[in-house]
Chain A
Amino acid sequence: MAKVAYYPGCALKDRSSHLDRSARDATLKLGFELDELPTWTCCGAVPPVSEERVMNLVAPSRILKDVRDSGRDVLVTICDFCYNTLKRTNYSIRNNEITRRRVNAFLADDEPERDYIEKKEEQWVDYTGDVRVVHLMEYLRDEVGYDAINRNLTRPLEGLKIAPYYGCVMLRPQNEIQLDDPENPAIIEDFVSALGADPVSYPYRTECCGSYLSVSSPDASTRLCYRILTSAQKHGADAMVISCPLCFYNLDSRQKAIAESYPDFKQIPVFYFTQLLSLALGVEEGRQGFDRHFVDVAPVLDMIREKTGKGGRE
C-alpha cells in the first residue's frame, strides 16, 4: 500500500487523537497509508512565521529536512496550523537565500549530535525547500480526486446540509499558501459535495472564531462563534465541518457558554473533516471519537443512519 509522509502535530497526537485516527482509518479505505514521521517536534503553530526571526524557523525546517532525507518529497498534514507553519517555512527557505543559509547553518550545527555516528560518511546537503507541504484535503482534491472519493463512498451523507468553516490560516496569506481563493474558497464545499452531502453557503464561513482568544478573552470568542454558528443555522445547516483543531475546539466547546449568553441559541454538531470522511467511507461507527464532543452529534448520526437504511450503497 502506498505510503505518504505524515506529520500529525501536537493537537492531533494528544487532545484530538480521535481526529488523527479518523484520518488514518479513512485514508486506508482510500488505498494509502499516512506514514507518521519516525521522529518529529512541535512545528511552532504559526508564531514562527508571524515574526521574522530565523531561529523560529529551525524546528519546522528540521521536520522538512527529515522528510527530504528519508527520500520523500511530499508531507501531508491534517491541521491548518501545522500546514500553515510548515508551508510558509518552506516558502521562506525556497525564496529567501539569507534565510535558507542561516537556517541550514543552525541545522548543520546540531547534525553531529543527532546522527553523527550513523551518517558519518554522508556529505551535508543544504535543505532548499524541495518538500511539498500538502494539506490532506488538498491531497484528496488533487491526488486522490474528489470524484474517486465519491465513487468509494459506502455511506454517502445524502440529504445532510453541512456548513464548511474555513477559519483564518488554512488559506492565508494567499501568495504563500495558494490553496484556494481566501475570499471565495470552494475546497471544503467541494469536499462536502464529494461526501454526498449538500454544502451550505453562508457569509461567516471565512470569519474569525477567536482563535487563541478562547484562552485570554473567552467572551470575545463566544460572541464570534455565536455569529458563525447562527449564520450557518439560518442558512439551513445541520452540522459544521472544520479542518483546524483550534476552530473545532472553539466552535464545539463554546456552545455551552453561547447558550448561557444567548437564550435563543440552539446547538449544532461540529465535525472534523476526517471524521465525516471516515464515516462516509464506511469506517465502523465508534472509531471517530464522537463521545469526546461537547455537543451531542447523535441527531446527525441518526439522519445518516436513516438515509443509509433507506437504500444507501452498503
Chain B
Amino acid sequence: MKRIGVFVCHCGINIAETVDVKKVAEEVSKLDGVVFAQDYIYMCSDPGQALVREKIKQEKLDGVIIAACSPSLHESTFRAAAEEAGLNPWQCEIANIREQCSWVHDDRSRATSKAIRIVSTMVEKTRLNESLEPIPVEITKKALVIGGGIAGIQAALDIADAGYKVILVEKDSSIGGHMAQLSETFPTLDCSQCILTPKMVAAGKHRNIELMTYSEVEEVSGYVGNFNVRIRRKAPCVDWSICTGCGTCMDRCPAKVPSEFDRGLSTHGAIYIPFPQAVPNKPVIDRDSCIYFKTGKCRLCEKSCEIEAIRFDQEDEIIEEEVGAIITATGYETLPVLDLKEYGGGDVPDVIDGLAFERLLSASGPTSGEVRRPSDGKVPKEVVFVQCAGSRDPERYRPYCSKICCMYTTKHALLYKHRVHDGQPYIFYIDIRTGGKGYEEFYHNAEEDEGIVYLRGKVAKIFRDGEKTVVWGTDTLTGRNVEIEADLVVLATALVPRESTAELVKKLRIQTGPNGFLSEAHPKLRPVESINSGFFIAGVAQGPKDIPETVAQASGAACKVISLFARDHLEQDPAIAWVDEDLCGGCRICISVCPYDAREYDEEKGIATVNEALCEGCGSCVAACACGATQQRNLSDSQIKSMVTASLGGE
C-alpha cells in the first residue's frame, strides 16, 4: 500500500479560524495508508514547502495531500516541491478546505467534519494515482497575427523583434486599421498618422514579418504549437511585385466609388489605394465598381500603366502555412448610423458618426481639415455631439459602454472649437467617464476653458427642418426638455465587433461573449489569452478600449507568444483522457461531445482515439462513453467511486 502524507494548512486564520486543523490532521492520520499528517501555519511559505520536502524523504512518502486553498492557486507550487524531493508531481494532490470549506461556513464543528471528508476524498484519489510524465509537443516557431490595425501591428512587431517569424494578415489592401483614419488622439492631441505610420512602415519592412494584405484566413486546423492555416490572398488585379505605386492608373480611372476610408465623404476610382500613407502602397481593383468588369469595356488603367502591372485575369491564391500561435486582433466596426432611425440615420445628411467627423478634422481628409458639413459644405456654427448613441441601451441596441466615446467626443468638441472659433459645441452625455492617465484633466480643461456646453441627458429624436438639423433632448440636471437647431450632429455610435469576426471565430474555434467580442481565458488574470491554448487576443475585438490599452494588450499577447516560442517544446498535462482499445465499440459519441476536436476516429482499428496534444482533460468524453472505454488518467471510474464514498462519510 502507498505511504501517504497529509499536510494541513492554517492559511493564517483563513482556514484555522473556522476549521479545527489539528483535529483534521489527527482524524485523517487514522485512515488506511496515511502514515503522516501534520498541520502548519503557512504551507506555501518556504519553511512550509521545506517541511513537505523533508517529510517526503524522511517518511518515504509516495503520495502527498496538501489540505489548503484552491488548486488553481498553489497546485503547481506543491507539485514542484514534491518533484524536488523526488516524488512524481502527479502523486501530489490538493484538498481545497479554504474556498470550498472555511470561507463559506461559520459552524466550526461542522466545517471541521466537512474538511475531514474533503481530505479523505483526496486520500482515496491519491491511493490510486499513477505516476505520469508530461507529454512533449513540438512547436512551430512562427506566429500568425490576424488583423493589421494598431493591435496587430504592435503584436507583430514585438514578436518579430524577439527574433521569431510572423505572418500579418489584413483583409484590406493596407494595414493601419481605424487608427489611420483618426485626426488627433486624446488626451495629448498628437497626430494619429504621425505616430502610426512609422509603425506601419516598420511592420512592412521588418525581415521577420511577412505582410499578407488583401488576404483572409480561410481555415485553421491543428493545435497549439502546430497549426495549419489556409490563407486566401484576394486578387488585387495588379501585379504588386512590379507595381511602383505611382498612381497614374488611379488618376485615369473614370469610376466614382464612395471612399470607405473617408466614411463616404469622398470618392475614389475603382482602382485605388485607400489612403496616401498606405502600406503596402499598391492599388487594388474593386471588381464590383470597375467599369471593365461590369461592361467589358474601359481598361484605361491598363493603358496608362507603363510597366504593365494591371492583371484583369488575376485569380485569388490559396496559401498554406504552419504556425505555432495565433493572435486575433480583428478590431471593430461602429454601429451604422443607418440603424439609428430616431436620430435621422440615413435620412438627415448632416447626421454623421464620430469616424466621419475624424475625417473632417483630418488634415489629409476630404475637406483638408476644415470642418464643413456634408449637405452643403457650409461651416457649421452649432454642432451637437450625442454620446452613447446605441451604447448603454440594452432594450434597443447594445447594453455595454463603448468606453472611448466620452474622451473622443470631448476631443471632437475641442478640435472643432479650435477650427471654428465662433462655433458652439454641445455634448449630450449620460455620464462622463474619464478613467485614464490625463483624461480627467483633459475633460476639465475642455469643459471649463473651451466653452463646450455639456448637457446631461439623452437625445430623443433628430430630424431635418429646412437647412437645420433639429435635436430634441432632455437636460436631466434642470429637468427641462432641450431643443437645439443644429448645423451638424455627430453621433458617438457604439463600437461593435466586426461582422466577419463571427465567421472567423468559427474557423478558429475560439469563443465570443454575449455581445460578440472575443472571450478571454480569465477576465482579470488571463486577459490576452483565449481559453483554447495557442490562441491569443488583442484590441477592440476583445472589447471596447482606447489606443494605449490596445497597444498594451497587443504587447501582452505578443509576450505570451514569445514565452511560448522560447521553450524547446511544450509540455502537455498528461492527466487527460485515454482509451481502452479492447472496450471501445467505435460508437463515436465522444467525438460529438469533445469541445476541442481532440477525439478522432481510427478507421483501421474501428475505435475512437485521443489526440493527446489537443485534449484538455475536461472529461466530457469520459462521462459520455457508454462502455467505459474512455477513462481520465488519475480520475478513473474506480477512483471517482471511492472518492464519492469518502465524500459521503465512508460507507
| A residues lining the B interface (CB < 8 Å) | 181, 183-184, 203
Is B465 engaged at the interface, CB distance under 8 Å to the other chain?
yes
Question: By the criterion CB–CB under 8 Å, are A203 and B465 in contact?
Answer: yes
Q: With A and B bound together, what is the CA distance between A266 and B465 in angstroms?
A: 21
Least Cβ distance of B642 to chain A in Å?
43
Is B342 engaged at the interface, CB distance under 8 Å to the other chain?
yes
Q: With A and B bound together, what is the CA distance between A184 and B343 in angstroms?
A: 10
Q: With A and B bound together, what is the CA distance between A14 and B577 in angstroms?
A: 76
Majority-rule SS of B interface residues: strand
B465 surroundings in chain A (CB, below 8 A): 203
Question: By the criterion CB–CB under 8 Å, are B341 and A183 in contact?
Answer: yes
Is B470 engaged at the interface, CB distance under 8 Å to the other chain?
yes
B341 surroundings in chain A (CB, below 8 A): 181, 183-184
Chain A CB within 10 A, most for which of B347, B465, B470: B465
What are the 8 closest A-B residue pairs judged by CB atoms, nearest first? A184-B341, A183-B342, A203-B463, A183-B341, A181-B341, A203-B465, A203-B470, A203-B461
A181 surroundings in chain B (CB, below 8 A): 341
| B residues lining the A interface (CB < 8 Å) | 341-342, 347, 461, 463, 465, 470
B347 surroundings in chain A (CB, below 8 A): 184
Q: With A and B bound together, what is the CA distance between A220 and B465 in angstroms?
A: 24
Least Cβ distance of B18 to chain A in Å?
41
B463 surroundings in chain A (CB, below 8 A): 203
Least Cβ distance of B340 to chain A in Å?
8
Q: With A and B bound together, what is the CA distance between A69 and B436 in angstroms?
A: 64
Least Cβ distance of B336 to chain A in Å?
14
A183 surroundings in chain B (CB, below 8 A): 341-342
Name the residue of chain B whose CB is nearest to the CB of A173: B395
Contact A184 to B342, CB < 8 A, known contacts A203-B461, A203-B463: yes
Q: With A and B bound together, what is the CA distance between A181 and B341 in angstroms?
A: 9
Q: With A and B bound together, what is the CA distance between A183 and B465 in angstroms?
A: 17
Least Cβ distance of B63 to chain A in Å?
52
Least Cβ distance of B242 to chain A in Å?
51
Name the residue of chain B whose CB is nearest to the CB of A185: B341
Q: With A and B bound together, what is the CA distance between A183 and B347 in angstroms?
A: 13
Instruction: Beyond the given A184-B347, A203-B463, please list 7 additional residue pairs across the A-B interface where CB-CB is below 8 A.
Output: A181-B341, A183-B341, A183-B342, A184-B341, A184-B342, A203-B461, A203-B470
Least Cβ distance of B170 to chain A in Å?
36
A-B contact pairs, 10 of them (CB 8 A): A181-B341, A183-B341, A183-B342, A184-B341, A184-B342, A184-B347, A203-B461, A203-B463, A203-B465, A203-B470
Least Cβ distance of B469 to chain A in Å?
11
Q: With A and B bound together, what is the CA distance between A203 and B472 in angstroms?
A: 11
Q: With A and B bound together, what is the CA distance between A203 and B465 in angstroms?
A: 8
Name the residue of chain B whose CB is nearest to the CB of A181: B341
Q: With A and B bound together, what is the CA distance between A174 and B342 in angstroms?
A: 14
Name the residue of chain A whose CB is nearest to the CB of B472: A203
B461 surroundings in chain A (CB, below 8 A): 203
A203 surroundings in chain B (CB, below 8 A): 461, 463, 465, 470
Q: With A and B bound together, what is the CA distance between A183 and B463 in angstroms?
A: 11
Least Cβ distance of B604 to chain A in Å?
52
Least Cβ distance of A234 to chain B in Å?
9
Least Cβ distance of B592 to chain A in Å?
31
Name the residue of chain B whose CB is nearest to the CB of A203: B463
Least Cβ distance of B483 to chain A in Å?
11
Q: With A and B bound together, what is the CA distance between A203 and B462 in angstroms?
A: 9
Q: With A and B bound together, what is the CA distance between A282 and B341 in angstroms?
A: 37
Least Cβ distance of A230 to chain B in Å?
13
Least Cβ distance of B98 to chain A in Å?
41
Name the residue of chain B whose CB is nearest to the CB of A207: B461
Q: With A and B bound together, what is the CA distance between A184 and B470 in angstroms?
A: 16
Q: With A and B bound together, what is the CA distance between A48 and B505 in angstroms?
A: 46
Q: With A and B bound together, what is the CA distance between A184 and B465 in angstroms?
A: 16
Least Cβ distance of B481 to chain A in Å?
12
Q: With A and B bound together, what is the CA distance between A203 and B470 in angstroms?
A: 10
Least Cβ distance of B484 to chain A in Å?
14
Q: With A and B bound together, what is the CA distance between A203 and B341 in angstroms?
A: 12
B470 surroundings in chain A (CB, below 8 A): 203
Least Cβ distance of B220 to chain A in Å?
37
Q: With A and B bound together, what is the CA distance between A203 and B342 in angstroms?
A: 10
Q: With A and B bound together, what is the CA distance between A184 and B396 in angstroms?
A: 14
Q: With A and B bound together, what is the CA distance between A273 and B210 in angstroms?
A: 66
Q: With A and B bound together, what is the CA distance between A208 and B638 in angstroms?
A: 71
Name the residue of chain B whose CB is nearest to the CB of A202: B463
